[in-house]
Amino acid sequence: MTVDADAPVYVAGHQGLVGSAICRALLRAGHNNVLVEDRRRLDLRRQDDVDQWFTQHQPKYVYLAAGTVGGIKANATRQAEFLYDNMMIHANVIEASRIHGVEKLLYLGSACVYPRQSPQPIPEQALLTGPLEPTNEGYSLAKIAGMRLCDFYRQQYGCRFVAAMPTNLYGPGDNFDPESSHVIPALIRRFHQAKLDGSNRIELWGSGSSTRDFMYVDDLADACLFLMQRFEGPGHINIGSGVEHSIAELAGLVRDVVYPDCQIDFSHDGLDGMPRRAIDASQLTQLGWQVATDLADGLKQTYDWYLGVDEDVRRRRKRLAVNLDAAANTGMEIAPTDVDLVENRSTVMSVGGRD
């Protein structure tokens, strides 16, 4: 199947890590009718709002990458929020896509949907074969529901809705909020702050023994465009790099990129999450797709992006201080682009939350 470059393509979650990468990939591929909507104007948890938006814009293809996301701590302490938000978002977008005749929808799940004790690397068939990891059960259940919803809509209504399960992702547009970030942006931020502070040693939470499969997000986006044209189901398909790294090894690679002189200590205390998680992406490989970016190169590109955004935030904060003084004296309005800074949320910290 060839996707017409002029057809309206909706990317739900375009401000997040995955959605922004899909937008970049679509533009690189020559698509000239990419539809996005700011979450402040469209709350995907509200069914009527979603239906009205679809009525107005009539997308033909949908990439469903929106959701409330976070790292180990956020998942463990905000389970109700993660379950509710994500179930509502996924159900509303999928149902609106059916009602309004969307030609094809690609739903992005997460590797956390698989049982804690899954065989490694994890095949698609492992889904629902055992208990989930307790620390992110709420998020996992919502993702499973979204994936199964695609299956059932395909069976009952004949909708061309398919689901893909990416491995652990990182890259430009990631969430660097210390309270909700995943492991790679959290490590980049920790080492960067240690470098700024002149500290030559940091302590990391856990043992460092857990292993993960990491993928650069632009590679994932390329895989999503590939699957939109090549994959029709049934069932879902894994997207992974096929290479495992321990958290200790990952920390060393991030240290080498950000602050080579820093020493690493592990506390051997706290939550490690699943002891091992790697994705079996052999089905995707058999379709003809291959990952392009190795971990070391991806980390460097991610840190370069982080430095650029960090500098932009500093410039915006300096400008905001001047604008606030002028606004107090003259009644001048604050630019919409400065709203996040007024609310003490930098661009770096606001991307990748609820998208």
Closest C-alpha among 105, 109, 96 to residue 69: 109
Contact 176, 348 (CB under 8 A): yes
Give the integer Cα–Cα distance in Å for 231 and 179: 36
Residue 327's pLDDT is 46
- pLDDT score, position 322: 53
- The residue from 139, 153, 170, 259 that is catalytic is 139
Distance (Å, whole) CA 291 – CA 310:
28
Question: Which pLDDT band holds residue 354 (cuts at 50, 70, 90)?
Answer: very low
Domain extent at residue 146: 9-174+213-243+277-294
Tell me the C-alpha distance between 132 and 139, whole Å: 10
Q: Which of 34-48, 114-128, 265-279 has the lowest mean pLDDT?
A: 265-279
Task: Give the residue-averaged pLDDT of 232-244.
Answer: 92
CA 163 from centre of chain: 15
What confidence tier does 323 reach under pLDDT thresholds 50, 70, 90?
Answer: low
Confidence of residue 234 (pLDDT cuts 50, 70, 90): confident
- Catalytic site includes residue 139: yes
Kindly report the CATH number assigned to the domain that includes residue 62: 3.40.50.720
Residue 229 lies in a domain: yes
Instruction: For residue 99, give Cα distances in angstroms to 58, 66, 102, 229.
Output: 10, 19, 8, 22
Query: Using one digit for the tens of pLDDT, what is the confidence trace for 208-223?
Result: 998 999 999 999 999 9
Q: What percent of the chain has pLDDT over 90?
A: 70
Give phi and psi for 165, each to the nearest 5: -115, 100
Q: Where are the beta strands (DSSP E) in the chain?
A: 9-12, 34-35, 61-64, 104-108, 161-166, 168-170, 201-204, 211-216, 236-239, 244-246, 263-266, 276-277
Residues 16-48 have pLDDT tens digits of 899 999 999 999 999 999 999 998 999 999 999
Q: For residue 270, is it within any domain?
A: no
Query: What's the mean pLDDT when you consider all of the chain?
Result: 87
- Per the domain annotation, does 289 fall within a domain? yes
**pLDDT for the residue 320:** 53
> What DSSP character marks residue 121?
S
Instruction: Kindly tell me the number of DSSP H helices and DSSP E strands found in the chain.
Output: 12, 12
Q: Check residue 316 and give its pLDDT.
A: 66
Residue in the block written with tokens 């982080």: 306
Residue 334 confidence (pLDDT): 36
Radius of gyration of the chain (CA): 21
185 assigned to some structural domain: no
Instruction: Give the pLDDT confidence score for residue 232 in this predicted structure.
Output: 94
Q: How far apart are CA 8 and CA 101, in angstroms?
A: 12
Residue 205 confidence (pLDDT): 79
pLDDT of 332: 44
Dihedral, CA of residue 79, residue 83, residue 85 and residue 87, to nearest 10: 170
Q: Which residues contact 249 (CB under 8 A, 6 or more apart)?
A: none
How does pLDDT run across 280-305, given as a tens digit for each residue?
999 999 999 999 999 999 999 999 99
Residue 272 forms part of a structural domain? no
What would the pLDDT profile of 46-71 be if each residue is shown by its tens digit? 999 999 999 999 999 999 999 998 77
Domain-embedded: residue 52: yes
Residue 39: how many other CB atoms lie within 10 Å: 17
What's the pLDDT at 349?
24
Digit-coded pLDDT (tens) for 152-208: 999 999 999 999 999 999 999 898 888 778 889 999 999 999 999 999 999 997 889
pLDDT of 315 > 60? The answer is yes
Cα 271 to Cα 179: distance, rounded to the nearest angstrom = 15
As a dihedral over the C-alpha atoms of residue 47, residue 53, residue 57, residue 59, rounded to 10 degrees, the angle is -30
Say what the pLDDT of residue 318 is. Answer: 57
> Does 31 map to a domain?
yes
Nearest to 256 by CA among 208, 303, 205: 303
Domain membership of residue 121 (yes or no) is: yes
Which is higher by pLDDT, 176 or 150? 150
Q: How many domains does the chain have?
A: 1
User: What pLDDT score was predicted for residue 317?
Assistant: 54
The per-residue pLDDT for 314 is: 56
Rounded to whole angstroms, how far apart are CA atoms 166 and 238?
6
